[in-house]
Amino acid sequence: MNAFIPYVQAVGRGEKLKRDLTREEACEAMHLMLDGTATPAQIGAFLIAQRVKGETADEIVGFVEAARTFCRLIRPQVPNLLDLGLPYDGKARTLQLAPAIALIVAAAGQPVVLHGAPDVPTKQGVTPADVLQALGIPADQAPELVARQLETLSIGYLHAPRFAPAWHALTPIRQQFGLRTALNTVEKLLNPASASRCVAGFFHRNYLLRMRSAVQQCYPGSWLVQGIEGSIECRAGRTTRLYPTDETAPPLVVEAPALGFAEADEIEASPDPELHAEITRRILDNRPSPGRNTALLTAGVLLYLSGRTDRLGEGIELARAALASRKTLQLLRHWQEVAHASEAIS
């Protein structure tokens, strides 16, 4: 218990005495939170003080390094795997399009992995797991089964209660704050499938820019998106900026109208997983639906960022072809079959 007090004091003292943690200190502080040494009261005090102080890139890197040592990491034999660093607290106001986007990307030939957790504050909105469950894909699968799905299907979802039980055990404490903390950023960067690069979403531009260095230290060559509800979507009819982790490089400015997506599509939706799943089916079946153009545009951007094409427009055409051929719907059905077969065997 006493071992954690210095970390609470470091970030929680008054304006003149508080200080940032070094990367090594942040790593040790996270380790003490996850191994049961720190008490719930100490964890709560630390996280709120850290929020008031404002976390640094080095602190986030230290937190991520420690958290990953408590994860059941998988290393599937999948070259150029892309990790989608989505908000674990989901979507409260808009469509959860990540499953549709991931299926389009995978159907177009780019391996992709999702990860998340249930009941994460502050939004506690619709998560990819909620949509996948409603689509008939069990979310709570053993990591080794997900590794095989990534190798055979080029897509998979990892659930934090399975791959990071110590991390997930902090959720009840987090639910008592009603505020975001550094943990909301760290979980996006857990990278449980050891992907070679990550695309992570953030809402506030200033915070995103502050985190570029952290993501670069964790996963060089990755990208940060200033997206809807802090996710990764590039919205049709709008301009979205994506920032490479190399702070000397300019952002990628995605002008949706110039790419053939002039009209904004309807993405506002009630937080009903069944509704989100039905819209996902319509998108994958290439039928008119809310969010279809946003999902298509985002998938095309991800294919470009992953190096599947040399030009952004070509990435969008690859995504469009995957939808038009119904490869996306076929992949969904295959994923359902494989996931249920894996569950039966296990």
pLDDT digits (tens, 9 = 90+) for 312-330: 999 999 999 999 999 999 9
**Would you tell me which CATH number, out of the four given (3.40.50.1820, 3.40.1030.10, 3.90.1150.10, 3.20.20.70), belongs to the domain 82-333?**
3.40.1030.10
Non-local CB neighbours of 313 within 8 Å, separated by 6+ positions: 259
- The pLDDT-based confidence of 190 (bands split at 50, 70, 90) is very high
CA–CA–CA angle 238, 241, 245 (5° rounding):
165
Q: Is the pLDDT of residue 346 over 70?
A: no
Residue 345 above 70 pLDDT? no
> Can you give the pLDDT at residue 76?
98
**CB atoms inside a 10 Å sphere around CB 23:** 19
Task: Pull the structure tokens for residue 242.
Answer: 């994506």
What is the maximum span of the chain, computed from C-alpha positions, in angstroms?
62
pTM listed for this prediction: 0.96
- Domain span(s) for CATH 3.40.1030.10 in the chain: 82-333
- Residue 343 pLDDT greater than 70, yes or no: no
Spell out the alpha helix ranges (H) of the chain. Answer: 5-12, 23-34, 40-53, 57-69, 98-107, 128-134, 143-153, 160-163, 165-168, 171-174, 182-186, 205-218, 273-284, 292-305, 312-324, 327-345
Using CA atoms, how far residue 210 sits from 62, 247, 266, in Å, is 15, 10, 31
Written as six digits, the tokens of 10 are: 């470091």
Structure confidence at residue 279 as a pLDDT band (50, 70, 90): very high
CA 258/CA 84 separation, integer angstroms = 25
Comparing 169 with 343, the larger pLDDT belongs to 169
pLDDT of 344 strictly over 80? no
Q: Is 127 exposed, middle or buried (0-12, 13-18, 19+ CB in 10 A)?
A: buried
Dihedral (Cα; 134, 138, 140, 144), 10-degree rounding: -150
pLDDT at 189 over 70: yes
Binned at pLDDT 50, 70 and 90, residue 15 comes out as confident
pLDDT in tens, 254-267: 999 999 999 999 99
CA distances from 241 to 127, 201, 202, 234 (A): 23, 11, 11, 8
Find the mean pLDDT for residues 254-281.
Answer: 96
pLDDT at 173 over 70: yes
- pLDDT of amino acid 262: 96
State CA 105 to chain mean position distance. 15
CB 31 within 8 A of CB 9: no
Local confidence band at 178 (pLDDT 50, 70, 90 cut-offs): confident
Residue 76 backbone dihedrals phi, psi, to 5 degrees: -65, 150
Rounded distance, CA 25 to CA 41, Å? 19
What's the average model confidence in pLDDT over 22-26? Answer: 98
Q: Which amino acid is at 80?
A: N
Determine the average pLDDT of the residues in 224-243: 96
Average pLDDT in the 231-242 region? 97
